[in-house]
C-alpha cells in the first residue's frame, strides 16, 4: 500500500507518494511518466514522510534552500536510473549541469570511454521525485532548455526561482 496526498504548488498540483516511510514519488498532475512504476494501491493518507515533504516544499517555494537530506527518498527505477538520480541529488541549489556532464561522470566512474547523454536524458526524464531530486537543473550541452517531464514552463519557473543562469 502506498500513502498519498496532494500538494498545491505555485506551478500546479503535485501528487506525493510514500511507501515504508520513504518518499517514492512527487509528480505534477498530468506530467509525462505520471506515476510510472507504481503498481500498488494508492491510499489518500498523510504520514510523517508526506507531512515532512509538504513542509520541505513550503520552505522551498518561499525561497528557503532546504537540504535534500531532509526527506528520506526511495525512488524506484533501474540501477542506471538510480545512478543518474543520485548525481542529480548532488547538483547544488542555484546551479545547473548538462546531460553530457552527467554522462561523462558516469563513464569515468565506470571506467569506460563514453556514456550516452541521450541515455542520461531518458533517466532524468523518468525521475519520479520532481523538484526535490532536481532534474530541472539539467540543461542541454549548449545550455539550452531541453525537455522537462513537468513541462518547460515549470522548468523555467524553477530555474528562475533558484536564480540559476541559463
CB-based contacts of 59, cutoff 8 Å, min separation 6: 66
How much is the CA Rg of the chain, to the nearest whole Å? 15
- 164 catalytic? Reply is no
Query: What is the three-state SS of 16-57?
Result: EEEECCEEEEEEECCCCCCCCCCCCCEEECCCHHHHHHHHHH
**Whether the predicted pLDDT of 146 surpasses 90:** no
Band of the pLDDT at 115, cuts 50, 70, 90?
A: very high
Tens of pLDDT, residue by residue over 16-49, are: 999 999 999 999 998 888 887 788 889 999 999 9
Answer yes or no: are the C-beta atoms of 60 and 94 closer than 8 Å.
Answer: no
Ranges for all domains in the chain classified under CATH 1.10.10.10: 79-161
Fold of 79-161: Arc Repressor Mutant, subunit A (1.10.10)
Ranges for all domains in the chain classified under CATH 3.30.160.70: 2-70
Tens of pLDDT, residue by residue over 56-110, are: 999 999 999 999 999 999 999 999 999 999 999 999 999 999 999 999 999 999 9
- CA separation for the pair 66, 132 (Å, rounded): 9
Crossing angle, helix 99-110 and helix 79-89, to 10 degrees?
120
Q: What is the pLDDT of residue 102?
A: 97
The string over 132-154, giving b where at least 16 C-beta atoms fall within 10 Å of a residue's C-beta and e elsewhere, is: bbbbbbbbeeeeeebebbbbeeb
Sign of the Cα torsion 159, 161, 165, 166 reads: positive
Whole-model pTM: value is 0.94
Place of cell 545547473: 96
Q: What is the CATH code of the structural domain delimited by 2-70?
A: 3.30.160.70
**Whether the predicted pLDDT of 143 surpasses 90:** no
Q: What is the pLDDT of residue 165?
A: 85
Per-residue pLDDT, averaged over 133-152, amounts to: 91
- CA separation for the pair 22, 137 (Å, rounded): 23
Q: Helix, strand or coil for residue 113? A: coil
For residue 70, give the DSSP letter.
Answer: G
Phi, psi dihedral angles at 10 (to 5 degrees): -65, -15
Among the listed residues 82, 89, 135, 164, the single catalytic one is 135
Per-residue pLDDT, averaged over 125-149, amounts to: 93
Amino acid at each position: 500500500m502506498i500513502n498519498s496526498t496532494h500538494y498545491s504548488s505555485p506551478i500546479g498540483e503535485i501528487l506525493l507518494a510514500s511507501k515504508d516511510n520513504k518518499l517514492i514519488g512527487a509528480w505534477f498532475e498530468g506530467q509525462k511518466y505520471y506515476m510510472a512504476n507504481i503498481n500498488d494501491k494508492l491510499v489518500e493518507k498523510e504520514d510523517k514522510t508526506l507531512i515532512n515533504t509538504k513542509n520541505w516544499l513550503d520552505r522551498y517555494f518561499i525561497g528557503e534552500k532546504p537540504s535534500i537530506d531532509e526527506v528520506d527518498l526511495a525512488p524506484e527505477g533501474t540501477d542506471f536510473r538510480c545512478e543518474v538520480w543520485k548525481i542529480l541529488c548532488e547538483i547544488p541549489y542555484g546551479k545547473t549541469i548538462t546531460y553530457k556532464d552527467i554522462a561523462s561522470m558516469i563513464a569515468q566512474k565506470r571506467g569506460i570511454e563514453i556514456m550516452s547523454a541521450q541515455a542520461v536524458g531518458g533517466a532524468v526524464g523518468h525521475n519520479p521525485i520532481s523538484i526535490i531530486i532536481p532534474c530541472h537543473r539539467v540543461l542541454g550541452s549548449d545550455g539550452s532548455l531541453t525537455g522537462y517531464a513537468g513541462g518547460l514552463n515549470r522548468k523555467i519557473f524553477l530555474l528562475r526561482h533558484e536564480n540559476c543562469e541559463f
